[in-house]
Amino acid sequence: MSWNYVKNITKKPRVLFPKGVIGNNQQLADFTNHTEERKGGVTTGRAWRANELRLKSNYDLHKLWYVLLKEKNRLHGDRLLALQLNQQFEVHNNLKKIRLSMKRLQTVVSERRELRDKYRKYLEEQYIQQRKNEELEEKLQARGFDTSKMGEIVYDKHYGAKKHAANFRAKMAEIEKDYQEKVQKQEDSDKQTVLDKDDMKLLTINEHNLSEMETIKMHVKNFYHIEDKAKRQIYGKIQSTKATHAREIFLKELNLVGWQFKNKTANPDPMKASLEELS
């Protein structure tokens, strides 16, 4: 038998509570019951608005995010405690406000990030284009070319293309307007015709005398990414198709004229025939 065993047996137990003190369980519910504030007694307050968050700096938004996160974790802890004690959790409204505020804060941060990325991209493209122009000017100077009008060339390259694109869109809108007027005029007219809408579309395009580049651009979207040889082949194919279509239109109109002349000869005007007989 060891001395430690004897010591534990002979050791007197320590008295933790004094004798004669009588307790009660009258206030035990205070350890588990939620306060009036957590039960929903405080109903004031609202979620943060996006316009209010946009006025704050990134540092303030960062601090506000952690404040909302801390409050959200506290409410979730209260909810789990109420669930374990089979009690009712009555501050769902506060939790919804915090979630809404956090979502709006994330939206504001995303807007700033997107704007910052766009501005950075703009600066990078501007710097890259400037460096390209400088390198091109140095190469031309090394070859002995005059670079005094380099600024006008760069301006026409960047802003002249936009001007040409605007003119092309205006011309396409004018062609579409003339085509719609022709179709409407044909529908309102009582005259007999053999032309359909595709035929009228081709006639309207031919009336505006489009250039080779405009003709290709009207049929091909990635016009500027095509080589010159491919452009010539595409233009030849388009012109061949248009010539075949124009020939079909000519034959339709020729057949209509022949049919009208034939019917006019076979069935002359009776009033005119009676007048000729009297004369």
pLDDT at 53 over 90: yes
Separation between Cα atoms, residue 253 and residue 193, nearest integer Å: 8
pTM above 0.75, yes or no: no
Separation between Cα atoms, residue 182 and residue 242, nearest integer Å: 19
List pLDDT tens digits, range 225-273.
777 788 888 888 888 888 888 888 888 888 877 777 777 655 555 555 5
Q: What is the mean pLDDT of the chain?
A: 75
What is the CB neighbour count within 10 angstroms for residue 200? 19
3-state secondary structure of 205: helix
pLDDT at 192 over 70: no
pLDDT at 105 over 60: yes
List pLDDT tens digits, range 61-75.
999 999 999 999 998
Q: What is the DSSP string of 28-86?
A: GGGGTSPPTIIIII-----PPPHHHHHTS-HHHHHHHHHHHHHHHHHHHHHHHHHHHTT
Instruction: Find all residues with CB under 8 Å of 53, minimum gap 6, and list them.
Output: 61, 64, 104, 105, 108
DSSP 145: -
pLDDT at 123 over 80: yes
Cα 173–Cα 177–Cα 179 angle in degrees, nearest 5: 115
